[in-house]
Amino acid sequence: MINEIKSYEFEEIERRCQERWRAEGTFEVSEDPTRPKFYCLEMLPYPSGDIHVGHVRNYCITDVVTRFKRMRGFNVLHPIGWDALGLPAENAAIKHGTHPEGWTRSNIASMKAQLQRLGFSYAWSREIATCDASYYRWNQWFFLKMLERGIAYRANSPVNWCPSCLTVLANEQAEGGLCWRCRSVIEIRDMEQWFLRITDYQDALLDDMEELSAWPERVLQQQRNWVGRSEGAEVSFPTEDGGTIRIFTTRIDTIYGATFCLLAPEHPLVDQLMNGAPKESALTLARLRGQDRRARLAGQVEKEGLFTGRYAKNPFSGERIPIWVGNFVLMGYGTGAIMAVPAHDERDFEFARKYGLRVHPVIQSPEGALDGATMTEAYTGPGVVTGSAEFDGLASEIAVEKMSAHASAHGFGGVKTAYRLKDWLISRQRYWGTPIPVVYCDKDGVVGVREADLPVILPPDAPFTGEGGNPLEKVETFVRATCPKCGGPARRETDTMDTFVDSSWYFYRYCSPTTEDAPFDKAAVRYWFPIDLYVGGIEHAILHLVYSRFWTKVMRDLGLIDWSEPAARLFPQGMVHKDGEVMSKSKGNTIAPDDVIKRYGADTLRLYILFAAPPELSMEWSETGIEGPHRFLLRVWRVVHKRAGTASRGRDFASLSENGAALRRRVHQTIARVTADIDERIHLNTAVAALMELTNDIYRLEEGLTGDSDEAALGEALDTLVLLLSPFAPHACEQMWSDLGHPKSLVDEAWPEADQAAMREDANEVAVQVNGRIRGRVMVPALADEAAHKALALAEPGVKAQVEGKTLVKAIIVPGRLVNLVVK
């Protein structure tokens, strides 16, 4: 007789579960030294207004891991917060005549409701918003500490300016010359700005990667490129008028081939060298300096230069070489000056040919000797050094060492390392950010605000007119300040901090979000750190993920913590595409999670998003694909409810039928698979697939079950299925768990353990190959030895036919899997 099956009313089930988790504070945690801890983190979202599918994908991954680890006995911290300061809020305020804070707060409220509808396991009591003064005051506190130590400094330098966002940007945020936020072409302007000395940590950022073995190689590689360490040498070329040109080179082995020197147009020596040069040269120089520096940086401008009229001496050869200015030499890298070796550098070669300068080869290519007059391209590979006095005959690598040592011994140079990384420009000429806590005093200059006077609060009454300029400048009560040193009148800094400052340390704040006398409680942080799993978008590989590694190192040097890296494991999830394109607001191809939840429920959405592709690859959103996981959930629901209320069926498996034994095998094999998939590889798609297979097996086997032991096996199967599925579809599983007759909430149940004995097969189907081609399959008892495998294989009729009349040369046997018979 068939029971009436309760229908799956996901809306009601999900609402009830979520209410219960909230009311009972199910996912709230505190430090508990008696249990292993697990810190599971996702990158905090910017409150743009709506949760999109990309967020959902990110948070589904962490939610599964959180619930899984919790059931495995870990004390799991899974917090969430809001990266709440930033330009979009300010732009929205200008557009709608409101205040950025109101816009931000209402976005947070609606996004929070959306997250709750998805049933994520957050410790909501630890929620933070970076726009709270109780949070950003610690940005200011950190800034003051860095100011004291010279890590924060103010300097005039060429900086990236976004003409649309009306603010400067850090190097990391000028992606390929475009603003990371609005894609406008950035300009380079000379401005006095605040920087953080991230370059003090450039070696640490590279060397500490040794600790990041659980970070993906592609992220580390990107960061390595970004830091751009390159080992070379610095050499001083004396000029004829008693000056010195310092050049950086990675190819000191080619120095005897240097036929001229090149300076960047902005190089400080240029004016002096050009003193008295003909007017026409001065005009050319002015033109080179006026060239768009961004385009020059990107190599989009034709190589051009001019002769200064002066000469320098090659300190190795003593040769007199002309000094030129070249527009492709960058002031921001190395020393802003190079020795030009046209024979062995493509750019120098191109320049030399254009201006008829000498090409003088000093490295023998494997094809033989080179002729400077006739060569058509530079030879840039390594080789044997020639025409270089006592260094002749050395291989490039050896010559580099010897020549560097020579320069060092004679006091005109030595080994030197150059970096691509620039200091982090953190000032922003906008309102909705953390005020930089300094004042300008006519008497004392730049003075940090007293720690006791923090926070410097954003004045709520700033005018958002959209006329350009920082609204803070127009708030007189804010700008007018008192100098902490002399007590005299001072002007307050109106620049605010890059919002990447906020996100550089927020994960420490989660450990003690209400601590008032420090950025965080040291003991709490010591308990929870490091972050065990950090999941977020790959687009932060060199932004947030460099900044936060830097910040942790600074905190270590401030004595706040005693480790150097914040996250033990990083897992960048793939992006969500629709119709082959990245899903984004600007493309108008976004999917609203709310609509999907309404139609299928949160559990189906979660299952679908995790099943569709492995989490680290991009996934293609498909409207029809979601039907599969939904049908799966319904299938589980039906098979569970056929047996509702039968939780206490015992665990006596003494007299299992064949089907019963098969079912138990499948159950325990599935436990092993799902556990490994979540715990080790985070391959959640195959974990879901394994659960689908188990469900199919239950359907297939349940009809043939008889007797108490079989009933017990079925009970075990259903319980296990629900437990294993629960991190993916927590609401439906909570309901099914209760309907099966379990009184306790499922989130506190222990994760099932695979029983090795129960999962072992009695016999395995073994593939039999003859000369590497499959010719048959045989059933072989589980513990059969190699001889038995061979005998069974040879007895198989299809195999027999292939082997007959031939000599068996060799038999390769992989027990339980395969036999390969090699015959001649």
DSSP assignment letter at 453: G
Q: Reduced to 3 states, what is the DSSP secondary structure of residue 567? A: strand
**Cβ closest to RNA, residue 474 vs residue 635:** 635
**Cβ closest to RNA, residue 420 vs residue 491:** 420
For the CB of residue 45, give the shortest distance to RNA in the complex, in Å. 20
User: How would you classify the pairing of strands 363-364 and 427-428?
Assistant: unpaired
For the CB of residue 223, give the shortest distance to RNA in the complex, in Å. 9
Among 338, 324, 206, 344, smallest CA distance to 270 is for 324
| Distances in whole angstroms, Cα of residue 237 to Cα of each of 272, 411, 429, 455 | 16, 11, 42, 52
For the CB of residue 422, give the shortest distance to RNA in the complex, in Å. 9
For the CB of residue 229, give the shortest distance to RNA in the complex, in Å. 10
What backbone torsions phi and psi does residue 356 show, to the nearest 5 degrees?
65, 35
Output the DSSP codes for 321-371. EEEEEETTS-TTSTTSEEEE-GGG-HHHHHHHHHHT------EEBTTB---
| Distances in whole angstroms, Cα of residue 410 to Cα of each of 340, 404, 407, 686 | 22, 10, 5, 65
DSSP assignment letter at 679: I
For the CB of residue 247, give the shortest distance to RNA in the complex, in Å. 8
CA 461 to chain centre: 37
For the CB of residue 696, give the shortest distance to RNA in the complex, in Å. 5
Report the b/e string of 227-250 with b at 16+ CB within 10 A.
bebeebbbbbbebeeeeebbbbbe
For the CB of residue 74, give the shortest distance to RNA in the complex, in Å. 21
For the CB of residue 557, give the shortest distance to RNA in the complex, in Å. 26
**Cβ closest to RNA, residue 511 vs residue 576:** 576
Tokens of 502: 């906020």
The amino acid present at 329, given as its one-letter code, is: V
**Cβ closest to RNA, residue 558 vs residue 822:** 822
For the CB of residue 688, give the shortest distance to RNA in the complex, in Å. 7
Asked if residues 74 and 38 have their Cβ atoms less than 8 Å apart, the reply is: yes
* Rama region for 597: left / alpha / beta (φ>0; ψ in -120 to 50; rest): alpha
**Cβ closest to RNA, residue 602 vs residue 692:** 692
User: How many C-alpha atoms does 749 have within 13 Å on its Cβ side?
Assistant: 21
**Cβ closest to RNA, residue 457 vs residue 582:** 582
DSSP assignment letter at 540: G
Q: Burial-class residue 351 by CB neighbours within 10 Å (0-12, 13-18, 19+).
A: buried
For the CB of residue 393, give the shortest distance to RNA in the complex, in Å. 22
Partners of residue 779 on adjacent β-strands: 765
First-to-last C-alpha distance (Å) of the chain: 62
**Cβ closest to RNA, residue 480 vs residue 587:** 587
For the CB of residue 819, give the shortest distance to RNA in the complex, in Å. 9
**Cβ closest to RNA, residue 357 vs residue 560:** 357
**Cβ closest to RNA, residue 144 vs residue 691:** 691
Asked if residues 269 and 347 have their Cβ atoms less than 8 Å apart, the reply is: no
**Cβ closest to RNA, residue 424 vs residue 520:** 424
User: How would you classify the pairing of strands 337-340 and 260-263?
Assistant: antiparallel
**Cβ closest to RNA, residue 50 vs residue 755:** 755
For the CB of residue 217, give the shortest distance to RNA in the complex, in Å. 5
For the CB of residue 371, give the shortest distance to RNA in the complex, in Å. 22
**Cβ closest to RNA, residue 331 vs residue 446:** 331
DSSP assignment letter at 65: H
For the CB of residue 812, give the shortest distance to RNA in the complex, in Å. 4
For the CB of residue 498, give the shortest distance to RNA in the complex, in Å. 17
Helices 602-611 and 10-24: crossing angle, nearest 10°?
Answer: 90
Partners of residue 244 on adjacent β-strands: 238
| Distances in whole angstroms, Cα of residue 573 to Cα of each of 102, 212, 570 | 32, 17, 10
Adjacency order of strands within the sheet including 75-77: 75-77, 37-42, 533-537, 570-573
Query: Biggest alpha carbon distance in the chain?
Result: 108
For the CB of residue 264, give the shortest distance to RNA in the complex, in Å. 6
For the CB of residue 577, give the shortest distance to RNA in the complex, in Å. 9
**Cβ closest to RNA, residue 393 vs residue 625:** 625
**Cβ closest to RNA, residue 318 vs residue 797:** 797
**Cβ closest to RNA, residue 47 vs residue 601:** 601
Tokens of 476: 């007189």
**Cβ closest to RNA, residue 204 vs residue 759:** 759
**Integer Cα distance of 509 and 525 in angstroms:** 8
Sign of CA dihedral 384, 386, 391, 397: negative
Partners of residue 481 on adjacent β-strands: 490
User: How many C-alpha atoms does 802 have within 13 Å on its Cβ side?
Assistant: 21
* Rama region for 181: left / alpha / beta (φ>0; ψ in -120 to 50; rest): alpha
Partners of residue 364 on adjacent β-strands: 384
**Cβ closest to RNA, residue 137 vs residue 673:** 673
Which uninterrupted H or E stretch holds 75?
strand 75-77
Tokens of 140: 């200011």
